[in-house]
Amino acid sequence: MTAPRVLIMGPPGAGKGTQSRTIAEAYDIEHVTTGDALRSNKQMDISDLDMEYDTPGEYMDAGELVPDEVVNAIVEKALADADGFILDGYPRNPEQADELDGMTDLDVVLSLEVGRDELIARLTGRRVDPETGENYHVEFNMPEDSEVRERLVQREDDRREAVENRLDVFEANTEPVIERYREHDGFVEIDGEQAPADVWQTIQDELDERLG
Ligand code: AMP
């Protein structure tokens, strides 16, 4: 079997990051995530594009999409270097989906489905440990260690206004891409409102069946 090429789609807060990390480890494939790649390059000078902002970070903090040129280049390089991958956070609009079509074929497309109210609760309550990158939640999952609790921060784009904006951007730009992938032979819809361990079990069953 060749190494699996898997795409995971879904709105912000659906659990793509968590599930992707588990998938990457279980199937020994690369986790390619534009969100993390961009967070590591928030200050990159993209003023030569002459667009609204001069750095990726300004788009991200506002909950807007970083220009396609920047994101396409990140993904093209990452996929060329990967033998099997789980792609998370890309494509987010039809133009990026066209680019991806030209870069690779996909074996499986997972679509994590979660309702808007649940997404708002998950995202605005999310807190991150700046030292480990671990995610927590003010209601559902706080760390035992008081030292960790005290150093938790909220991502700028998890503030209410940015969250609403990210969900609007998702509905306008990314939903049409998911609609397109419904025609793909490897398309699978996953109920993302289940507990994370159950989501993982469902994904694992689907992947094992489809990847043979
Ligand atoms: P995420 O962690 O996937 O929610 O991504 C965080 C932010 O990074 C998004 O709100 C966008 O500003 C930016 N971003 C991530 N992936 C993309 C993409 N494929 N296209 C444009 N912007 C992106």
pTM: 0.91
Q: Is 42 a catalytic residue?
A: no
Question: What's the CA-to-centroid distance between 35 and ligand 1, angstroms?
Answer: 5
The answer to the question of residue 46 being in a domain is no
Determine, yes or no, domain membership for 11: yes
187 part of a folded domain: yes
Is 204 contained in some domain? yes
Assigned domain for 191 exists:
yes
- State residue 87's pLDDT score: 98
* Per-residue pLDDT, 44: 95
Residue 203 belongs to what domain range?
5-29+83-125+156-211
Please indicate, yes or no, if residue 170 is contained in any of the structural domains: yes
pLDDT tens for each residue of the chain, 212 residues long? 579 999 999 999 999 999 999 999 999 999 999 999 999 999 999 999 999 999 999 999 988 999 999 999 999 999 999 999 999 999 999 999 999 999 999 999 999 999 999 999 999 999 999 999 888 999 989 999 999 999 999 999 999 999 999 999 999 999 999 999 999 999 999 999 999 999 999 999 999 999 97
Dig out the tokens for 64 from the structure. 């807007």
pLDDT at 1: 58
Decide if 150 is inside a domain: no
| CATH number for the domain that contains residue 193 | 3.40.50.300
- Bridge partners (DSSP) listed for residue 135: 128
Distance 148 CA to ligand 1 centre (A): 27
Quick one: the chain helix, strand, coil %, rounded to 5? 50, 15, 35
Q: Where are the beta strands (DSSP E) in 10-104?
A: 30-33, 85-88
- What distance in Å separates the CA atoms of residue 131 and residue 152, rounded to the nearest whole number? 9
Number of domains in the chain: 1
SS (H, E, C) 73-96: HHHHHHHHCCCCEEEECCCCCHHH
In a domain? residue 189:
yes
Q: How far apart are CA 121 and CA 169, in angstroms?
A: 18
- The CA distance from 180 to 55, in Å, is 30
Among 141, 139, 128, 84, smallest CA distance to 108 is for 84
Centre of ligand 1 to C-alpha 76, Å, is: 16
Task: Name the residue of 31, 61, 65 to mutate for ligand 1: max ligand atoms within 8 A of Cβ.
Answer: 65
